[in-house]
Amino acid sequence: MDLIRRLNQIEADILLLVGDTSTADDDQLESALEKIEFSGPRLFLCGNHELWTRRADSHDLFVNELPKRVQALGWHWLEENPYVGKGVSVIGSVGWYDYSYAPAYLGVPHRFYEAKISPGAAQHLGLDHLVGPDLTPESLSIFARWNDGKNVKLGRSDEVFLEERLVGLRESLSRVPSDHRIVAAVHHVPFSGLLPPRHTPAWDFARAYLGSERIGELLLSDHRITHVFCGHSHFPIEKKIGQLHGINVGSGYRLKRFWIGHI
C-alpha cells in the first residue's frame, strides 16, 4: 500500500508496470490495480507470478483471461499490443527463460532445469528418474526449487514459450512507426549485465530462470530502442548496453521500488 500511495503522488506522463503485480487467482490483481489513481496512460506487463494459478492452464489465462481483466480496469495490455504515443512508443513482453543463464560451474544437467529442481533436492525427494550417475558431489549438495514448476502450467516447454514471446516482440516492433523512439519493457532479464551478482550455489541455480540473452539480442537489433526496463530478479541495476539504457527496477517481495526519470 505504501508503494501505491507513493505512485499516486507522482506527476508523470506514463505509468508502466513491468510484471509481478499479483497472482491472477481470486481478485487480488483487480484489488491492486484499482487502487492506482494515475490519470495518464497506464501500461500493464505480465510477470511470471501473474501466471501462477491453481487451475490447469496458465497459457489460457495469459492469452485470453488476463488481457480482458486488465483492459476492463482501463489499463493497456502491453503484450503484443504496443502503446503508440507522440514520437515515443512502448513495447513489452513477459519474456521468459531458456536456462542459458545457468552457471556452468554448478555442473547441473539440463533435465534438472527443465524439472525446476536441483539435484540435491531431487535426491532428497526420491525423484529417481532425475538422479543419475552423471551427478557430481557438488551438484548433489545444491538444494533449491523454482516455484514456476508447480505454479505455472504452460502446456509447452520454456524454450518454446520464449520463442513465442520473441515472435510477439518482433510483431510489436513492426507495428511502431519507423520514426518513433521505442521504450521496451520485458519482465524477465534480457541481458546478463542486468543480472544480480553470483552468490551461493543454491542462489546461482535460480539464475537459469531469470531470462535469456536472446531477448536482448532482439532488442539490440532495432536502433529505435533507447531504453529497456525489466524486473523479476529483485536486484536493481542500471547499465549502458550498446545503444540502450538498461534498467532493472529490482522490486522484491519486501522492498518495493520504482524508477522515475526522463526518456
What does the pLDDT read at residue 9?
Answer: 66
Average model confidence (pLDDT) for the chain? 94
What does the pLDDT read at residue 253?
Answer: 77
Q: Which long-range contacts (CB under 8 A, 24 or more apart) does 102-107 make?
A: 102/205, 102/207, 102/208, 103/198, 103/204, 103/207, 106/138, 106/139, 106/142, 106/201, 106/204, 106/205, 107/135, 107/136, 107/138, 107/139
Least reliable range by pLDDT among 19-33, 158-172, 173-187: 19-33
Summarize pLDDT for 216-258 with one digit per residue, the tens.
999 999 999 999 999 999 999 999 999 999 999 988 777 778 7
CA–CA separation, 32 and 109 (whole Å): 39
Please name which of 232, 227, 257, 196 lies closest in space to residue 90, comparing C-alpha atoms.
227
Summarize pLDDT for 33-62 with one digit per residue, the tens.
998 888 889 999 999 999 999 988 999 999
Please name which of 58, 40, 47 lies closest in space to residue 154, comparing C-alpha atoms.
58
- 113 exposure class (CB count in 10 Å sphere: 0-12, 13-18, 19+): buried
Least reliable range by pLDDT among 7-11, 127-131, 140-144: 7-11
CATH class of 2-100+154-248: alpha beta
What does the pLDDT read at residue 233?
Answer: 96
Q: Give me the residues paired with residue 76 across strands.
A: 43
What does the pLDDT read at residue 249?
Answer: 95
For the chain, the distance separating the N- and C-terminal CA atoms, rounded to the nearest angstrom, is 27
Nine-digit cell string for 262 = 526522463
Q: At 259, is the pLDDT very low, low, confident or very high (cuts 50, 70, 90)?
A: confident
Summarize pLDDT for 79-135 with one digit per residue, the tens.
999 999 999 999 999 999 999 999 999 999 999 999 999 999 999 999 999 999 999
Q: At 1, is the pLDDT very low, low, confident or very high (cuts 50, 70, 90)?
A: low
What does the pLDDT read at residue 260?
Answer: 80
CA–CA separation, 204 and 195 (whole Å): 11
pTM: 0.95
Quick one: average pLDDT of 11-17?
A: 86
